[in-house]
Amino acid sequence: MAEPGWVLPYKIGQGYDLHRLVPGQKLMIGGIQVESPVGCEAHSDGDVVLHALIDALLGACALGDIGDHFPPSDDQYKGMDSSAFLAKVLPLVTASGYRPGNVDVTIFLEKPKLGPYKLPMRETLAQLLNLPLQCVSVKAKTAEKFPPIGTQEAIAASVTVLLYLST
Ligand code: MG
């Protein structure tokens, strides 16, 4: 173990999430509602980007994972807006002495095409994280028709975040 008092100027975190897609549910991605005949089957609003972002933030601070902080078994989180989870996690990041520096998001979804939604997602994430737009990246990929993402049975997201020491 490193000596006590040893403090990193930067910390990196990564998060991943996947949800099943089912008819008749709304599809929330990166805080934006996307027009789609299918949406996420989830305990909360099923926003894979915000869930992966929360795991990345918690991971960078070694503070556990989203399930530790918001157990799916707890009914108070049912149908909850995932930005409310993020609002509870950001103070933990600040309390650990760090602030988000930049974030890079990849979304894995076959349909619909997310091109028109990427800028609104970046703007929403930038606002939620209090970051300039150029520090928030959103990329989208399909899965070449391979299951489960390519067969439109699932959506996934991967997020990398860099934190910087702010104290
Ligand atoms: Mg999730």
Predicted confidence at residue 154, as pLDDT, reads 97
pTM: 0.95
| Domains of the chain by residue range | 10-165
Measured in angstroms, how far is the CA atom of residue 6 from the centroid of ligand 1? 33
Beta strands in the chain (DSSP E): 10-23, 27-29, 32-34, 38-40, 98-108, 136-141, 154-165
Neighbours of 106 (CB within 10 A): 17
What average pLDDT does this structure show over 75-93? 90
Which amino acid type is present at position 137? S
Phi, psi values for residue 65, rounded to 5°: -135, 175
Is 114 within 8 Å of 29 (Cβ atoms)?
yes
Residue 92: which residues within 8 A CB-CB, separation 6 or more? 57, 58, 61, 63
Instruction: Give the per-residue pLDDT at 140.
Output: 97
* Per-residue pLDDT, 53: 98
Q: How far is the CA of 65 from the centre of ligand 1 (A)?
A: 11
Cβ < 5 A residues, ion ligand 1: 17, 51
Q: Is the pLDDT of residue 92 over 90?
A: yes
Q: How far apart are CA 61 and CA 58, in angstroms?
A: 5
Taking the centre of ligand 1 as the mean of its atom positions, its distance from the CA of residue 134, in whole angstroms, is: 26
Find the 7 Cα to ligand 1 centroid distance in Å: 31
Distance 19 CA to ligand 1 centre (A): 6
**What does DSSP assign to residue 152?**
T
pLDDT at 71: 86
Q: Which tens digit of pLDDT belongs to each residue from 44-80?
A: 889 999 999 999 999 999 999 999 999 888 888 777 8
Please, what is the Cα angle at 130 between 18 and 41, to 5 degrees?
20
Residue 114 has a pLDDT of: 97
Report the percentage of the chain scoring pLDDT > 70: 98
Q: Write down the CATH number for the domain with range 10-165.
A: 3.30.1330.50
Q: In angstroms, what is the span from residue 18 Cα to ligand 1's centroid?
A: 6
- Residue 6's pLDDT band, with cuts at 50, 70 and 90, is confident
* Average pLDDT, integer, range 86-98: 96
